[in-house]
Structure formats: C-alpha cells, structure tokens
Amino acid sequence: MISSMPESIMETQSLDVFHGHREVIKGLNLSIPKGKILGLLGPNGAGKTTLVRALLGFHTQLRGSLFWKGKPLAHCEHDFRLKVGLVPQELAIYPELSATENLAFFANLYGMAQKESGLWITQLLDQVGLADRGSQPSGQFSGGMARRLNLAIGVVHQPEFLILDEPTVGVDPQSRNRMIELLRAWNRDGMTILYTSHFLGEAEILCDELVILDGGEILAQGTLGALLSNLPVRISLTEKVPQRDSIIKEWETNHGGNWKLCKTSPAMETEVFHKGDLSWFWNTLAHHSVPMGEVSIDRPRLEDLFLNLTGKDLRDE
C-alpha cells in the first residue's frame, strides 16, 4: 500500500527536553512536512525556543528520538548541519562588519568558495532590500534592516530547511511584509520552513500547517481550515427578520444537536453558535426569503482556536 502521508524532512518521537529537573518539552511527536511552511505557535514560555534548540542539537538534556529525512539524526549530522539554516530571535550579526562582510563571513563558515558566494551575496542583499547598504557597517542599521540582514545570514548557504524563531519581533510593517514575501518565494523554490511566532496574522497568511504549542505539549496540528472547522460559527439574525422566531423553531426541531442559541431579545440580534455543515442554514433562509442584509456570519479565526485550546488570549501586539 502506498502511504498518503506527506514526506517529512524532520521528525521528533517522544521528545522530552529538560532544564535542570524541570521538563519543558513533554513527549513531543512532531512531523515537519517537506516543502511546506509549518507554523509553530504559542505564547511566551510555551517551549517554542526550547524546541528549536533541541532540533538543532543545542540541548543535551533530552530523551527521545530526532530524525532527519527519515534517518536518525545522529547518523547524518554532517548533512543536517550543511542543509539547515537558523534565523534566531537574537540578532546574529557583527555590528562592526558591513552587510556584505557579515554574509561573506558566514558563507565562508559553510565552505562556500568566494567566487561562488560573491554573486549570491549580491543577489541576496537585493532580495532583502539592502542592495544599496552592502558596504555600510551593520551596527548603523535600523531595527528592520538588521532583521532583514539576520534573515539573509540564515540562508546564505542556501539551506533546504530553514528554522525561524520569532523573526519579526520589533520590526516595522514594511520589513515584516518583505520578509514574509521572501519566505513565500523561497518556499516556492523548494525550501522547507519552520516558523515560530506569536503573531497570529503572520501565521494565517504564511503557513501551510500550524502547530499549537503550550506548556511544552502539542495541543493541535493541521491546516488552518481543518483546525478551524472544529470551532462553531456565530450566526446572527437581526430583529428586522419577521420570521426569526419561526426560523429558530425550525432549527431547533431539525438541527437541535448542531447549534445552540446564545441570546435573543426583541431589541437585540439572535446569535446562534453552530458546528458542521451550513447547507441546512442557507436552505432555511432561502425558504423564508430572508434578505441577506439581515444576516451575518462570524467565522472563527486563529485567535479563537488558540483561546479554545489554551484558555489564553494570544493577540497580535
């Protein structure tokens, strides 16, 4: 039988990570699909950075298994080191060096020939919007410019797998948008990306799949659509709908297990929380000739999912 499971570039099995005697990551089973952008979401302290460090081998207090392209990581560590890139939350740049010199330094660490890396560095500076700043000391850069250079350093060796740990913290909207556009472009070219963030808006527009992490445990994993399909939709009928009471009675008779009435009043909207297929809802409205202007549907968002899973409110701030 041919498996329908997507190929993974990296996996963890029953991974536990400790800080001293405290267990920070707990029995984590994570599969990072090859060629996708996987968003790792959670509040500060959820274990995101700890997990990133464990994947990269920076944590020694761990148990469980790590796999790179289906093989135990310990058996192919050299290949892994050459083909993984990291964009850390803390800036990894030398402020006394220019942008070009920073990139050349890190390219040399990966054994790239100067002639080969020179052309690529020029192209990379252009991609991150620093083409005219290549000779300027990076210590003079604005926060957004430094973040974009940090991103460029993470991919200077053209990795297959890129890990980003809160890469847009403190950056201006223009730099953030440019970085997101670049990540999309690199992903289209085949790069697999693990993107950790607590900015929900970024994850919604960027990631193919999401992992919700809290307390060192995975609470949910899947596509945004699949995860949100488990949450109720809020349906509102205004008081101007004369058949409102009849519609509610019909819903209650035929679909009582699928929805619940939130509140109703002659002077207020009727709000219904519903889970599942909405075709019956549209059919009922059409049968009663309800004007669409008197109906509103509030579909769940990623922040609703996070609140539902963790009891915490994670907002873009």
Question: What domains can you pick out in the chain, each with its CATH number?
Answer: 8-228 (3.40.50.300), 233-299 (3.30.70)
Predicted confidence at residue 316, as pLDDT, reads 42
**What DSSP string runs through the chain?**
----SPPEEEEEEEEEEEETTEEEEEEEEEEEETTSEEEEE--TTSSHHHHHHHHTT---SEEEEEEETTEEGGGSHHHHHHHEEEE-SS----TTSBHHHHHHHHHHHTT--HHHHHHHHHHHHHHTT-GGGTTSBGGG--HHHHHHHHHHHHTTT--SEEEEESTTTT--HHHHHHHHHHHHHHHHTT-EEEEEES-HHHHHHH-SEEEEEETTEEEEEE-HHHHHTTSPEEEEE-TT-TTHHHHHHHHHHHHTTTEEEEE--TTS-EEEEE-S--HHHHHHHHHTT--GGGEEEE---HHHHHHHHHS------
CA 85 to each of CA 107, 158, 159, 161, 182: distance values in angstroms, whole numbers, following the listed order: 12, 8, 6, 6, 15
* Beta partners for residue 18, in sequence order: 23
Contact 223, 208 (CB under 8 A): yes
Prediction pTM value: 0.84
User: Other CB atoms closer than 10 Å to residue 261's CB: what's the count?
Assistant: 12
* Beta partners for residue 72, in sequence order: 67
* Beta partners for residue 237, in sequence order: 270, 295
Predicted confidence at residue 305, as pLDDT, reads 85
Predicted confidence at residue 262, as pLDDT, reads 62
- Residue 128 corresponds to which amino acid? V
C-alpha–C-alpha distance, residues 112 and 116, integer Å: 7
Predicted confidence at residue 267, as pLDDT, reads 41
Predicted confidence at residue 180, as pLDDT, reads 93
C-alpha–C-alpha distance, residues 168 and 199, integer Å: 9
Q: How long a stretch of residues is the chain? A: 317
Spell out the per-residue pLDDT of the chain, length 317, in tens.
344 456 999 999 999 999 888 999 999 999 999 999 999 998 888 899 999 999 998 888 899 999 999 999 999 999 999 999 999 999 999 999 999 999 999 999 998 888 778 899 999 999 999 999 999 999 999 999 999 999 999 999 999 999 999 898 888 888 888 999 999 999 999 999 999 987 888 888 999 999 999 999 999 999 998 888 877 777 777 767 777 777 777 777 766 666 666 655 554 455 556 666 677 777 877 887 877 777 777 778 888 888 888 776 654 44
CA 232 to each of CA 273, 299, 300: distance values in angstroms, whole numbers, following the listed order: 5, 8, 7
